[in-house]
Amino acid sequence: MSSQTLLYIILAGIIALLLALFQYWFSAKQKGKQWLLYTFLRFISIFSLMLLLINPKFEQVSYTNEKPNLVVAVDNSQSITYLKQDANTLNLFSNLLNNEALNDHFNLDTYTFGNDISATDSIAFSAKQTNVSAVFKELSQVYKNTTSPTIVISDGNQTYGSDYEFVSDTYEQPVYPIILGDTITYADLRIQQLNVNRYAYLKNRFPIEVILTYNGNENIISRFVVKSGNSNIYSKQVSFSKEKNSETLNFDLPANRVGVQSYVAQIIPLDTEKNKVNNNKAFAVEVIDQKTNVAIISDILHPDLGALKKSIESNEQRSVTFLKPNINTNRLDDYQLIILYQPSRKFKPVYDAIETQNKNHFTITGTQTDWNFLGSNFGFLDKDQTNQTEDYQAVLNTGYNTFIIDDLKFNSFPPLKSSFGDIEFTVPIETILYKKIGNVDTEQSLLSTLENGHRRLAFLFGENIWKWRAQSYLNNRSFNEFDNFIGKLVQYLASNKRRNRLSVTYDSFYDGSSPIKISAQYFDKNYEFDNRGSLNVVIRDKVSNVSKTLPFILNNSNYEVDLSSLPASDYAFTVSVANEGLRQSGSFTILDFNVEQQFLNANVTKLQRLAANSNGKAYFIANTDSLVSQLVNDKRFATIQKSTKKVVPLIDWKYLLALIAMSLAIEWFMRKYNGLI
């Protein structure tokens, strides 16, 4: 409170006293104790009112104790069960949660991690993959600018994701790993990695690369074999020693039959091996007898051409050839899809041949496109003529239902460049992406498909799609999402298959550790997506002949069913729509492979480095007695007392208003009682 305000309060007290004395003392004919009480009550009323007018401000300080957080993240993967540490883990987890010293000193937050991380204290050790890096990626933002030591209870074996030892560098909290598993080293032979293409072509040979590793001190000889059914189709003797502890094999296998061909690779185990599961690895190859050939015709050089080639050829079933507009048009018969990049009048013979041969095609325009030629060549396409260029961002049409399109975060993609002007179609089209100019969403087509007779056409009105592929990589650390988007478009355009009201998407085979999902789209009689359908799938195990029926769940613009609980086997399925008579059938194979069974020991060295790099400390599951006392007594994790200072004006003090009302009321009742009113 300032000295000026204090002076005002003293002055107000003097004035209030003088007024009270004047009204009840100097003017009174009779003086006594009763008049002194009247004077006091009037003084209180006047002084309180004047205080409200002055409205002095007071500082109010409150204190709170802020406890640090203690994060407990538990490995929920199946490897914990295989290492026989599930009971020890549950016991330790329960002891930590119920420890009075920890609860008094910390705010305990619990998480489990496997395929991803979730805030829960329910542990089932059921996750088929382990992503330890997710702990540090997800929690680094949650506990930013806080004191939150982190206990990670895990065997340290990661099956996918970024290397957690390096990701943890951005996690600004001490980490205390609790190491699960046997630390004794056993002699072990294993298939460390097997690389094979997903597809092969009939009557060709497909390459395989296998990395074999040995952990032991003695010189040993074993044999690597590949089986198809009960037949050995490849065999080689391998030898290892303490110094020579790995070997890479490269060989080819024949593709003699169409369809999914399943194989088992095996390194014959040692008699003394403890873990023989990692000596086998199942894999499969889908043998196809046809390859989709795509021709990209362009008269200019542009980065888009390379990006399209890489995206299309990311699928082994497709190949891309670059051609000039002056080619012999008879060659076009060798291709299932023609992509025409920024066409000009030189493309006239090509378009004529496409029309004659009834070919599907994909036209991409840009700043060097001859729109006069395109307008005359396509009678259903019209565009305003202008020499100006414009940048167009993409907006996904969530109502597009010709085939399933995933949102690639198109709003984060750089704009495409094209000539300015509205584009009009005189025939029905299906728009995948709309144009966005600045902050304005339009209904102008940026990417559209249409069916003209028995042909399928697509138009992209903008260049620099290579920037989209680069941005997709920045968003997802992978080109897969963008390549799949282009792949679906190419698959649709390269086929003349009649559109069905029920469309089913699935893979021919699945790795046993990966999510197994079947997607479907159901359309009404106008071929508009219908979200009211009741879809079911009947799954039949071809080996045991056991069937089960599962419902599809609506997921945005498609239906989806998760089959990850199915065991490894060969399956046939039929998807049907209730009360519609629509059916689609297929088959797939689930490979017998569980990556969580491949580990024999905990990754002790890596977890210890993780602790050292974060200024924490690693503990073994059998020796955690000192963990609690270290956490509680560590001065870095002391409870912080915080003070909060508030400046409160007197007018907010409700008791003063009550005092004014009470003093006036008492004075009135006393005067009334004594007949002075």
Instruction: Report the C-alpha gap between 295 and 299 in whole angstroms.
Output: 13
Closest CA to 189 of 93, 75, 273, 90: 273
End-to-end CA distance of the chain: 41
Let me know if residue 643 belongs to a domain. no
Q: What integer pLDDT is reported at residue 309 of this predicted model?
A: 95
Closest CA to 294 of 317, 265, 262: 317
The answer on pLDDT for 90 being more than 60 is yes
Let me know if residue 372 belongs to a domain. yes
Examine the domain organization and report whether 383 and 456 are in the same domain: yes
With residue 51 as reference, give the H or E element that holds it: helix 33-54
Domain boundary among 263, 288, 313: 288
β-bridge partners, 30: none
The residue behind tokens 């359309």 is 523
Let me know if residue 475 belongs to a domain. yes
Examine the domain organization and report whether 243 and 350 are in the same domain: no
Closest CA to 260 of 593, 634, 572, 648: 572
Instruction: Report the C-alpha gap between 443 and 257 in whole angstroms.
Output: 49
Q: What share of the chain is helix, strand, coil (3-state, %, to 5)?
A: 30, 35, 35
Tokens in use for 138? 């997800």
Distances (CA, A) of 84 to 90, 243, 378: 12, 31, 69
Examine the domain organization and report whether 83 and 134 are in the same domain: yes
Query: Is the pLDDT higher at 496 or at 424?
Result: 424
Examine the domain organization and report whether 46 and 99 are in the same domain: no
Let me know if residue 110 belongs to a domain. yes
Strand order in the sheet with 231-240: 199-201, 280-288, 259-267, 220-228, 231-240
Tokens in use for 225? 């074999």
Tokens in use for 256? 């003699």
Examine the domain organization and report whether 621 and 668 are in the same domain: no
**In which band, very low, low, confident or very high, does the pLDDT at 596 lie, cut at 50, 70 and 90?**
low
Return the axis-axis angle of helices 33-54 and 3-21, rounded to nearest 10°.
150
Q: Is the pTM of this model over 0.75?
A: no
Q: What integer pLDDT is reported at residue 362 of this predicted model?
A: 94
For 317-371, the pLDDT digits (tens) are 889 999 999 988 888 888 989 999 999 999 999 999 998 888 899 999 999 988 8
With residue 47 as reference, give the H or E element that holds it: helix 33-54
Give all strands (DSSP E) within 310-439, no chain letters: 318-323, 337-341, 361-365, 381-383, 389-396, 416-419, 423-425, 430-437
Which CATH number belongs to the domain containing residue 550 in this structure?
Answer: 2.60.40.10
Instruction: Report the C-alpha gap between 312 and 319 in whole angstroms.
Output: 7
For 261-297, the pLDDT digits (tens) are 889 999 999 888 877 888 888 888 888 776 789 999 9
With residue 663 as reference, give the H or E element that holds it: helix 654-673
Positive or negative, the Cα torsion across 76, 77, 81, 84? negative
Amino acid (one-letter) located at 608: Q
Tokens in use for 346? 């030189």
For 217-256, the pLDDT digits (tens) are 889 999 999 998 888 999 999 999 988 989 999 999 998 8
- For the chain, give the longest Cα–Cα distance: 129
Tokens in use for 164? 């957690």
Q: Containing domain of residue 377, as a range?
A: 293-493
Instruction: Report the C-alpha gap between 118 and 110 in whole angstroms.
Output: 9
For 180-191, the pLDDT digits (tens) are 976 666 788 989
Examine the domain organization and report whether 336 and 442 are in the same domain: yes
Examine the domain organization and report whether 305 and 402 are in the same domain: yes
What one-character-per-residue DSSP string does 416-453 give?
A: EEEE-S-EEESS--EEEEEEEETTEEEEEEEEEEEEET
β-bridge partners, 587: 572
Let me know if residue 75 belongs to a domain. yes
Examine the domain organization and report whether 507 and 377 are in the same domain: no
Which CATH number belongs to the domain containing residue 142 in this structure?
Answer: 3.40.50.410
How many domains are contained in the chain? 5
Q: Give CA 350 to chain center in angstroms.
A: 43
Least confident piece of the model among 150-164, 200-214, 424-438, 488-502:
488-502
User: Collapsing DSSP states into helix, strand and coil, what is residue 531?
Assistant: coil
Query: Is the pLDDT higher at 97 or at 4?
Result: 97
Domain boundary among 229, 256, 288: 288
Question: What's the angle, vertex CA 65, arms to CA 60 and CA 71, rounded to 5?
Answer: 145
Let me know if residue 557 belongs to a domain. yes
Let me know if residue 279 belongs to a domain. yes
Examine the domain organization and report whether 551 and 415 are in the same domain: no
What one-character-per-residue DSSP string does 567-626 give?
A: PSEEEEEEEEETTT--EEEEEEEE----GGGG--S--HHHHHHHHHHTT---EETT--TT
Domain boundary among 462, 493, 524: 493
Distances (CA, A) of 148 to 80, 99, 321, 619: 25, 17, 56, 18
User: Collapsing DSSP states into helix, strand and coil, what is residue 486?
Assistant: helix
Examine the domain organization and report whether 297 and 392 are in the same domain: yes
Examine the domain organization and report whether 481 and 560 are in the same domain: no
Examine the domain organization and report whether 333 and 475 are in the same domain: yes
Q: What is the mean pLDDT of the chain?
A: 86
Instruction: Report the C-alpha gap between 264 and 131 in whole angstroms.
Output: 26
